Amino acid sequence: MATESIKAPIGYLVNTGKLPVFYQSNVAGERTNFEGEREFHSMTVRNARLLSHDFTLDHEGFAFVAHETAVTDFQDDDQLVSIYNAEAEALVCAHTGASRALVFDHTRRSSSQALREAHNARDPANAAHTDYTDWSARKRVEDVMGDEAETLLSKRFAIVNVWRSRAGAIEEWPLALCSWDSVDDVHLHTVERRAYNRVGQTRHASYDAQNKWYYFPCMTPGEAILIKNYDTAKDGRARYALHTSFDDPTAPADAVPRESLETRVFAFFDKD
């Protein structure tokens, strides 16, 4: 944890002018599939634990927090519904100032094929991306919120991910986050996201040497990262944070497989 920065491969989209397509895995243990071209660039990834700077959702687009949970088993869907949803919603409200928050999705991931099959988890995403476009963010609100959607969409809303370890310290395939003020939208490209029950859109980044990447090594289940994936506000605050897992060259040879949980949360505001 003492290393100030490392050089690590960050996955970027190659912009060919064709619409890339990402296929979500639908069967336990199934790997995701991607139609498009990717390339990896060796980027400096700074150890954010060693920085005195406080990262915030409105400035960098992400925040790191100590967050104890009453959940004892993140493989138990009932505990996610009865305990964790309320915890995540309160956390997002506290860090965004939202008047209301609502969990609408959980995704388990693991770097182990055996654990993916056992826990119905997906593989770590290793491409620099943000989860929504303007169209898909609004569509998600419409799909989830039903009759409330029109009123909610008339005011500011955001989508925030709560990301954490769900079993021990993260020793491999950690999460890298890119500061919003180092991203030029010209390098972001729409990717169609196809699942068995719906079609959405995400945005993947093509290579930009100006990107500033950070990570929080050895995260434990008592810590969480908040990632802003979308914000309707256009007043100068961060609207998103690019993020990706990466193959950590400093990981021990006998690293414990990563097991993580990402929880997607709507944040609704009283004003535009």
CA pair distance 45, 83, nearest whole angstrom: 34
pLDDT over 90 at 177, yes or no: yes
Contacts of 107 (CB under 8 A, 6+ apart): 122, 261, 262, 263, 264
Euclidean distance between the first and the last CA atom of the chain, given in angstroms as a whole number: 41
Contact 44, 161 (CB under 8 A): no
Tokens, residue 272? 């535009």
Q: How far is CA 20 from CA 29, 165, 188, 194, 242, in A?
A: 23, 30, 12, 11, 17
**pLDDT of 23 higher than 90:** no
Full-model pTM: 0.94
Which contacts of 143-152 are long-range, i.e. CB under 8 A and separated by 24 or more positions? 143/198, 144/102, 144/104, 144/266, 145/102, 145/266, 152/268
pLDDT over 70 at 28, yes or no: no
219: its two tokens: 């995260």
| Span 137-173, pLDDT tens digits | 999 999 999 999 999 999 999 999 999 999 999 999 9
- The Cα–Cα gap between 98 and 80 comes to 21
Domain count of the fold of the chain: 1
Higher pLDDT, 23 or 113: 113
Looking at the predicted structure, is the pLDDT value of residue 1 above 60? no
200-256 tens-digit pLDDT: 999 999 999 999 999 999 999 999 999 999 999 999 999 999 999 999 999 999 999
Range of the domain at 190: 5-268
Q: Residue 241 corresponds to which amino acid? A: A
Rounded Cα distance between 187 and 58, Å, is 21
What mean pLDDT comes out for the span 31-51? Answer: 91
Edge to edge, the sheet with strand 188-194 lists: 5-14, 37-47, 213-215, 175-178, 243-245, 129-130, 199-205, 188-194, 21-23, 33-35
Range 220-223, long-range pairs (CB < 8 A, 24+ positions):
220/165, 220/168, 220/169, 220/170, 221/69, 221/74, 221/164, 221/165, 221/166, 221/167, 221/168, 222/66, 222/67, 222/68, 222/69, 223/64, 223/65, 223/66, 223/67, 223/164, 223/165
Comparing 145 with 199, which gets the higher pLDDT?
A: 145
Segment 171-195 shows an average pLDDT of 95
